[in-house]
Structure 1
Amino acid sequence: MFYRDLYYLSDEYDQQNYGAAINLRKPLGEHAYAEISYTIQNVTIDNIDEEASQAIKDEEGEYLQSKIDLSLVHDTRDSVYITRKGHKISGGALVSGDFLGGDVGVYGLSLEAAQYVSLPMDMIFSVEGAVRTVDTLGGGEDGVPIFERLFLGGANNLRGFDYRDVGPKDENGEPLGGKTSAYATFELSFPIIEKVRGAVFYDVGVVSGDSYDWGGDVNSDVGVGLRLFFLPTGPIRLDFGVPMQADEENDSGGKFNFNLGYRF
């Protein structure tokens, strides 16, 4: 059971999610597993700013979402603490509709992958990326609600940009999210002292307003970072990224990003 007050998503509206979920996982050999989860949640979007665009105001209300998520994963990583070699590949699908008892009719598909290569002098090269798309289920007219749309930007993908700031925006510059996204990150990390590693990286991604559309504006960045391995809760990742390509509505200045925890 959960309650989440997602006040950090936007300065123009508030979002609260509460509900319950159940998850089942089945091993498929030594390195693979299948997973299915069912979630029922109430999503409330309120406290809309008076100066917000009509596109944001149209999202106001309460939604009852009942959804099923399916995934198939192959994971050969040697560790989640400091991953030096191996890969993780995950294909997923979600479906949400009134036939499950909710009033949000959408579906989504995703493919995520990461590869880690151990190099001399304890350097590690990694490549990560994902492609995702969402659409209305059965040609519904209500559209994909903002809480199921796709965003990029922030500590987990495009580190040279603000959180969720890459993708379609309204006339006020507020992120609206898209229906198709793709990104890739390339990183080389190296030891500095015990429990401290440095990193250099390059990120690139795109978010499009339509489903199955890969033609959005390309955004990319380069940067440097530190990896600190002092806490039992997982490594601390400190990154500073500078955009190389940015659409006209994105800030082209550098961004500092902080992240904590294992990357399961």
Structure 2
Amino acid sequence: MRNLAATVAVIYIMLAMVPIAANAQEAPLITNIVVKGNEQIATDVIAAAISSKVGEAYSSEQIEQDRNAIIDLGWFYDVRTMAEPEAGGTKVTFMVTENQVISDVCFKGRALRGGKPIFSDEQLSEAIGFEPGHVRNNNDIDDQIQSIQRLYYDKGYIYATVPDVVTEERPAADGAKFVLCFTIAEGLIEGIEIRGHRKTRPHVIRRELETKPGQVYNAHRVQRDVQRLFNLDFFEDVEARTSVGSETGMLILEIAVRERRTGVASIGLGWSSVQKLVGFADVADANFHGTGRRVSLRVSIGGREGGEIGYYDPWFTANHTGLNVGLYNKRTLRQAFLSDGSSFLYDEKRVGGSITVSRPLSGFTTGLLTLRTDSVQSVDIEEEDVPPEDLERLGQKATVRSIGFALVNDTRDFIRAPTRGGYNRVSVEVAGLLGGSDFNKLGGDVRRYFKVGDKQVLALRLIGGWIDGDAPFLEQFLLGGANNLRGYEEDQFPGNKMLLLNGEFRFPLGNKLTGVAFVDVGSAWGGAYAEGAGLGDASLNLHIGYGAGVRVDTPIGPIRLDLGIGEDGAQTHFSIGHMF
């Protein structure tokens, strides 16, 4: 019995010692770490990514982490590990298979424009920093994709992506070579849809778009298209949207418009210091029957009597040649100022017309050719006789037949109420080639608009002119009044030379109401009438006017009311339409 108990005790003790012996068995030590298979990438570079060290206990988990760390270097498409027992421990081997050595790059999927891609192979290669003869690094691929997309994005191609990058093996004289090929989905426009139009015909909208189906979407170009449509003044709002096309990398461009009323029949009143109360009746449509053509008829009474008819077709021909025709027969009460400070009233009678042909020369520049014929005469005021000696100062009836040339560069964002950009115009008018008065007139107009804060705008204008030859008095430059030099009488400063600087600070006051603070500096001077008849300044004498005003937005244009302060006191100016 005692022997049985002793035997059981021995067996129990032996069983209890088994796990202790197992725990006491330690993992083998790493006696050597070897890297094999690398040809281009230095062993030291690979070894630096390995955390396991010789002399440490072998850990399969740590070896797997080391394998992943080597993969993360980016130069290898396969990494394997092997643990082999050897004297004193375990030898660990990392077997690496390098990516291909890249000899060249290629770029696929690009659209051609005029037989050329948007960016050349050289431009794209420079963007990704490609150098031949290096092992492909998968980590660099992500950076290179970002570089390509950033190159496109910075130029407005915001939908360009790189969906695929592969290495292609191609035959070469000295054996196969490997080419890294990027597939670029640039964002082709599959179609353009017009939404929201009711009156305006679709082709009137489409013809204004530089963006066409089959082109790569460019945000800068689309924004210019939106501004161009908005500047037609047919629409309250214009919006460009995109949706996914029928295939990967294709998209649909949607132009959504909200039309404004373009047909106007109105009766109104105006006021000036000379003409006093002026009445008018207007019938006009800036988008006649939705064709984009403008027709107008105006009849005036009071200080301005007569009628005007206008017709404008911006697409008179399919190549965007515009035609503008105007006919008029009007009589306008004016005031002439003598150099001694006195003045007298007279009537200007003008009958004639003009034809202007315009053609875009580039994205922002337009050329214009104008033929004009005018019969202009200074006559008695109907209610009272003007002294003959005063009428003689102004000259008698004159005929003007002229041809004019002009270049206009217009980068304003919105013509109706610009907040940034500029406007430049140079013009020359030659009269007398077909008889009548013989003179030449040169002119220049430079405007700049700067956004200040969220909604305030600083607007500047500099205009100048010069007349050479025998121009009638009423063909001279006439400064003073609501449209140029505020704070002075209408047409107070006549001359065959003119210089004027206008500055306005515009700020919103509420819905459809804008406030303005302004300064005007300038004058007109010189010419035969100043020197011989005493009409105006014989030499340059700059005059300054300043003040404030309000603008009310109406369907017929902004109504302007300004209080200007000049050298002789204050003047109130009331007018319709933009000053600049």
Instruction: Give the TM bin, normalised by the shorter chain.
Output: 0.7 to 0.9
How many Å separate the matches in 2 of 1:51 and 1:30?
Answer: 51
1:234 aligns with 2:557: yes
CA contact (8 A) 1:80 1:262 kept: no
Paired position in structure 1 for 2:576: 260
Which of 455, 473, 484 is the aligned partner of 1:146?
473
1:92 aligns with 2:427: yes
Count residues in correspondence. Answer: 237
Which runs of 5 or more structure 2 residues have no equivalent in the other structure? Answer: 1-326, 337-343, 529-536
How many Å separate the matches in 1 of 2:335 and 2:390?
Answer: 16
**1:79-118 alignment, distance < 5 Å:** 79-97=414-432, 99-100=433-434, 102-118=435-451
How many Å separate the matches in 2 of 1:187 and 1:262?
Answer: 12
How many Å separate the matches in 1 of 2:351 and 2:539?
Answer: 35
- Percent identity (aligned): 26
AA of the residue aligned to 1:261: G
1:156 aligns with 2:486: no
How many Å separate the matches in 2 of 1:225 and 1:112?
Answer: 23
1:199 to partner: Cα distance: 1.2
1:47 aligns with 2:380: yes
1:122 aligns with 2:452: no
Q: 1:242 to 1:221 in 2, by over 3 A?
A: same
Paired position in structure 2 for 1:57: 392
CA contact (8 A) 1:206 1:214 kept: no
How many Å separate the matches in 1 of 2:388 and 2:503?
Answer: 36
1:55 to partner: Cα distance: 5.7
AA of the residue aligned to 1:22: I
Paired position in structure 2 for 1:67: 402
AA of the residue aligned to 2:540: G
1:3 aligns with 2:320: no
Partner of 1:38, secondary structure, is strand
* TM-score, normalised by the number of residues in structure 2: 0.39
Q: 1:182 to 1:52 in 2, by over 3 A?
A: farther
Paired position in structure 2 for 1:134: 467
How many Å separate the matches in 1 of 2:576 and 2:523?
Answer: 25
AA of the residue aligned to 1:217: N
Which runs of 5 or more structure 1 residues have no equivalent in the other structure? Answer: 137-142, 168-176, 247-251
Structure with greater proportional helix content: 2
Paired position in structure 1 for 2:146: none
Higher relative contact order (CA 8 A, sep 6+): 1
Write out per-residue CA displacement over residues 76-123 of structure 1, whole angstroms, 9 at most, x where no aligned residue: 1111221111110000011111x31x2211111011111001111310
Write out per-residue CA displacement over residues 141-163 of structure 1, whole angstroms, 9 at most, x where no aligned residue: xx431111112111111111111
How many Å separate the matches in 2 of 1:53 and 1:42?
Answer: 20
CA contact (8 A) 1:233 1:262 kept: no
1:181 to partner: Cα distance: 0.7
CA contact (8 A) 1:46 1:60 kept: no
* TM-score, normalised by the number of residues in structure 1: 0.82
CA contact (8 A) 2:407 2:426 kept: yes
Partner of 2:573, secondary structure, is strand
How many Å separate the matches in 2 of 1:135 and 1:52?
Answer: 29
Partner of 2:454, secondary structure, is helix
CA contact (8 A) 2:483 2:579 kept: no
Point out the more displaced range, 40-49 or 200-209. Answer: 40-49
Partner of 1:254, secondary structure, is strand
CA contact (8 A) 1:119 1:125 kept: yes
